[in-house]
Structure 1
Amino acid sequence: MGSIANGLNGLHLNGVQELDVLIIGAGFGGVWQLKHLRDAGYKVKLVEGGGDYGGVWYWNRYPGARVDSAVPSYEFSDPDLWKTWTWTQRFPGSAELRAYFAHVADVWDLRRDSQFDTSVESAVWDGSEAKWTIKAKTNQGQKVFKARFFLPNTGFAAKRYVPDWKGIGSFRGKFLHPSSWPHEGLDLKGKKVAIIGTGSTGVQLATDLAPLVSELAVFQRTINTCMPMRQVDYEDGAQAMPREEYPAFFEARTDSFSGFDFNFIGRSTFDDDPETRRATYEKLWAEGDFKFWLATYQDMLFTKDANREAYNFWRDKTRAKIRDPQVRDLLAPMKQPYSFGCKRISLENGYFEIFNEPHVHLVDVNSTPIEEITFKGIKTSEKECEFDYIISATGFDSMTGGLKQIDIRGPSGQSLSEHWKDGTYTNLGMSVSGFPNMFFTYGPQAPSPFCNGPTCAQLQGDWIIELMNHMRDAGLKKVEAKEENVKKWRQHVADVANTSLLPSTRSWYMGDNIPGKPRECLLYLGGVTAYYKKLGDTAANGYDGFKLE
């Protein structure tokens, strides 16, 4: 297959566009694959349900939305990009991230092979042709593609979740999920606002809205052990490091547990005396990023006593910021409520201090649960509260929801959703037995939520492309994960998780946030370095674990 001038010019037969590859998703994974598959000579097209590039950052437009991974970690390693791009902040806001994706699209000339406002509804494998027939909904009607390879890069946050509260439709004000924030924004100045949920989004929203609104109520089920974000504004073109250091920096990302430029300390918590341990914690805390979580003592996520020591340090630091004793006990309780770091940790910039303001209220839904949404606002077991806006910052059907909401059917006719009804089964967190020529990135049973996004997008994307190139060179048409290897990988993911404290905590890492969802570890906790080695070993062994024909 030779190089082609324009991957979008696939054959159109009876209104069906013929391609080598169809990619879903214009986030990090999708755009990396589009660029490099096209460079390799494939006829490839990217479709995206949103109106532009950015993945979750196209949708995340709520006040305060910003990434909590620092740059330059949170960008691609291609010199054509970083040599011509300058960040304004260490932790960029959503608007700057969308601008970065526009820069990527321009430098890589992606728009000619991308189609937006296009939501894939179904994908069916045709065994006679060894191709996927993929149907998508667009503003102009249905679009049909036939592709040898189907690469859904839906990510871990593609299907929003709103609890089935009674009376949502009766609310006279505006009820919304943050991922559907209006592009034109909302005028919340002087309004009464409720935020339900204290995950990363809830923390960012509450911090940003507190100075604007007349009354803010934050409904909390579980504490967020968020840590301070040390924001840096870059001036006069200065960046986090000299650009000549970038190549070595990017090369080292796959040598860390989390795909950043740092790693766990090579000793355990109680190897240090209390004074040394305290000094270590203080140094990590002062970094103002994820180091207190993912560059701390090597036993923090695995040993109860070590974990409790980290929590106690966090607790004491946090309680010092909160004046009201009752609020203090709700936001940073003396008794550890769950294993530290085993729920998604966020970075904050003044979050706890907002509860010192008289117009900001914390509602503990454990003691006063939400009973219904009413015409006026929210009715708890204690009272009814009146609001102008209710923001349901209740997260997503993470990891599997984005894939399962598409009607994907392999040779058996069974849908992926049915296939995963009782649990998730993948090989290497990228492929499913019974679904040939389909690969996904940043999905379940990969390091995904414990991995810096661009790092995983590149290492998984490159591996998929190398496999496709191997097939093309060998004249092969079909690749499928072997069922026995899928079972082995699922067990390996569980075994690794069970050596840690992760299963002891209810979180979306374990599928706990969605009623009826099977409880299982949805991420590979072995770390990026171990995962990268497994990918390399699999390829070196002739893609052992996959059936190629």
Structure 2
Amino acid sequence: MSTEQRQSQQEEEFDVLVVGAGFAGAYQLHKLRNAGFSVKVFEAGSGMGGTWYWNCYPGARVDSDFSIYQLSMEELWKDWTWKERFPGRQELVDYFAYVDKKLDLSRDISFDTRVTAAHFDTTVDRWIVSTENGRVVRPRFLILCTGFASKPLYPNVKGLETFQGVMHHTARWPQTGVDLAGKRIGVIGTGASGVQVIQESGPVASHLTVFQRTPNYAMPMVQHDLTEEAQTKMKAELIPAILRRRKQTFAGFQYSTIDRGVFDMTPEERLLSFEDLWRLGGLQFWLGGYTDIFVDERANDEAYRFWRKKVIERVNDPEMQRKLAPEVPPHPFGVKRPALEQNYYEVYNQPNVTLIDLAENPIVEVTPKGVKTQDGVEHELDILVLATGFDAVTGSISQIDIRGTDGSLIREKWGNRLSTYLGMTCAGYPNMFFSYGPQGPTAFCNGPTCVEMQGDWITNCISDMREKGKTCIQATQEAEDAFVARVDEIYSQGLWDRAKSWYNGSNVPGKRIQSLNFTGGLPLYQTMCREVVEGGYTGFILEGPKSDTQKEKL
């Protein structure tokens, strides 16, 4: 090997590679750099923001209150002013630009760099990571901050590729946008992105056709503008308290579930309480409501009946009411993430809107002109929107060619059964961590809260290893099995498996159905993680350097 080649190889070795530059990647980079590690971030997109870079479809907006949907570092929130209670996509892109400038993150981020493979070299305790553009690096640690929703799920519909109009998945929407005005628009899917696109396109389309598999139990956003004066007052005391409070609640919000039964109240008290929660807007009725709606079918039915009454009051046509809010619920309330809406149900009162219930009238094929349903009708379209979700939680990681100590692919390991330790590591894949991913609090936790908590744990773990002179950490199979059993046990106590949902992978054909998330709440999860550290990293094997060369580099 020439001197130049050796120098090139040396330059490509560093402590940590972080994959992804959303909330998790940005936070991880900042924390690790401050801890004295050499860190690089590879990001597939052309800018920061993660999901907020890619999801630029019409109406894209967060469903967490502005006060908690931000990083908790004072140097960030004290000088940033939000415009709306629930920020839209552009405001979040602007926020990431602000964070980047404030923390000087981009100097260590390689954009337009998609990681395609990562193989662990046991001889030197390093990952060999390859990218689509041909770059190869050898970090000691690999941290996957790829998010839970970065692998779009496309519908398996005959003729999809034949459509001659404009067709995009919401997660791959053109950065330059698409003109919807005056167009015949079809939307397949009524998850969160579907609800948002429908709200935006309904008022401007010449005709909107919605293809609904399952009605969304959408709840009122109660959106409003924010003033700089009000936020200045909040920053004096309230914002710091809210950001500290996040880690104390079940789902990392500023409010928590109510540990009281729905039937512990009189009917009058229950109605008034439901009304109060509903009036607050956001996810309060769901994650700030009564815990027994997740485990008790009778209590859940009460919540559904209240939700249904609120919906049908806003929908004029009885047939639309039946499709959007059926008398018999297709699944329990809240076991799929409800969307937040502003005028979603009013859109269906418009004469230019058609709702196709796919349970009664499924799609037969996509044609060059539009979508043909079982009743023989061809719905001609100019634009077809695929709001069909994601291969969520595991898909973001398993789409990469990741091989552990025995050369096996992580997608094959997880294809048989998803198994992790603490929702951050995986047996057989040393020195690899992931945050906001499989079997973490992920889907049941506010994003920034989750990535900060897990990011701190990972940073502290790597720092402890450096202090102890260790170069390799790996979860044991026994610890992983025990953790998975605990995840499954907690999950089985709820009503979660009563719905076809990305919470358990049942939305993806052929995917094993099991809990993809930790459903026991953030306080319990933090306790479990803390106890592992207090036990000297119980469930992990830590090893020192294998050669004198590695010892010199410590």
Superposition TM-score tier, normalisation by shorter sequence:
over 0.9
Within a 5 Å distance, the mapping from 1:365-444 to structure 2 comes to 365-382=358-375, 383-444=377-438
Q: Which of residues 509, 514, 522 in structure 1 aligns to 2:508?
A: 514
Question: 3-state SS of the aligned residue for 1:510?
Answer: coil
Q: 1:180 Cα deviation (Å)?
A: 1.2
Number of residue pairs aligned between Structure 1 and Structure 2: 536
Q: Which of residues 168, 173, 178 in structure 2 aligns to 1:186?
A: 178
Question: 3-state SS of the aligned residue for 1:242?
Answer: helix
Retained in 2: the 8 A contact 1:86–1:237? no
2:418 maps to a residue whose letter is T
Q: Please say if 1:55 is aligned against 2:23.
A: no
Q: Aligned equivalents of 2:104 and 2:73: distance in 1? A: 14
Q: 1:241 Cα deviation (Å)?
A: 6.0
Q: Which of residues 151, 161, 164 in structure 2 aligns to 1:159?
A: 151
For structure 2, the residue ranges without an aligned partner over 5 or more in a row are: 1-5, 544-554
Structure 2 CA distance for partners of 1:354 and 1:126, relative to 1, 3 Å: same
Retained in 2: the 8 A contact 1:16–1:146? no
Q: Which of residues 249, 258, 261 in structure 2 aligns to 1:256?
A: 249
Q: What is the RMSD of the two structures over their aligned residues, measured on CA atoms?
A: 1.1
Q: Which residue of 2 aligns with 1:91?
A: 86
Q: Aligned equivalents of 2:292 and 2:233: distance in 1? A: 30
1:119-145 deviation digits (Å, cap 9, x = unpaired): 00000000111100000123xxx1111
Q: Please say if 1:225 is aligned against 2:220.
A: no
Within a 5 Å distance, the mapping from 1:228-247 to structure 2 comes to 228-239=220-231, 242-245=234-237, 246-247=239-240
Q: 1:244 Cα deviation (Å)?
A: 1.9
Retained in 1: the 8 A contact 2:403–2:410? yes
Q: 1:326 Cα deviation (Å)?
A: 0.7
1:483-521 deviation digits (Å, cap 9, x = unpaired): 011111111111001111112222110101100000001
Within a 5 Å distance, the mapping from 1:493-532 to structure 2 comes to 493-532=487-526
Retained in 2: the 8 A contact 1:16–1:144? no
Q: Aligned equivalents of 2:153 and 2:369: distance in 1? A: 23
2:219 maps to a residue whose letter is M
1:167 maps to a residue whose letter is G
Q: Please say if 1:71 is aligned against 2:63.
A: no
Q: Aligned equivalents of 1:44 and 1:178: distance in 2? A: 32
Q: Which residue of 2 aligns with 1:360?
A: 353
2:155 maps to a residue whose letter is P
Q: 1:236 Cα deviation (Å)?
A: 4.0
* TM-score of the pair, normalised by structure 2: 0.95
Q: Please say if 1:315 is aligned against 2:308.
A: yes
Q: Aligned equivalents of 1:443 and 1:14: distance in 2? A: 31
Question: 3-state SS of the aligned residue for 1:124?
Answer: strand
Retained in 2: the 8 A contact 1:12–1:18? no
Q: 1:235 Cα deviation (Å)?
A: 2.5
Retained in 2: the 8 A contact 1:168–1:175? no
Question: 3-state SS of the aligned residue for 2:415?
Answer: coil
For structure 1, the residue ranges without an aligned partner over 5 or more in a row are: 1-10
Q: Please say if 1:277 is aligned against 2:267.
A: no
Q: 1:52 Cα deviation (Å)?
A: 0.7
Q: 1:266 Cα deviation (Å)?
A: 2.5
2:461 maps to a residue whose letter is L
Q: Aligned equivalents of 2:103 and 2:64: distance in 1? A: 24
Q: Please say if 1:134 is aligned against 2:129.
A: yes
Q: 1:372 Cα deviation (Å)?
A: 0.8
Q: 1:240 Cα deviation (Å)?
A: 8.9
Q: Please say if 1:455 is aligned against 2:449.
A: yes
Q: 1:324 Cα deviation (Å)?
A: 0.7
Q: Please say if 1:445 is aligned against 2:465.
A: no
Q: Which of residues 174, 181, 204 in structure 1 aligns to 2:166?
A: 174
Q: Aligned equivalents of 1:196 and 1:266: distance in 2? A: 38
Q: Which residue of 1 aligns with 2:333?
A: 340
Within a 5 Å distance, the mapping from 1:112-151 to structure 2 comes to 112-138=107-133, 142-151=134-143
2:530 maps to a residue whose letter is G
Q: 1:437 Cα deviation (Å)?
A: 0.2
Q: Which residue of 1 aligns with 2:548?
A: none
Q: Aligned equivalents of 1:150 and 1:324: distance in 2? A: 54
Question: 3-state SS of the aligned residue for 2:91?
Answer: helix
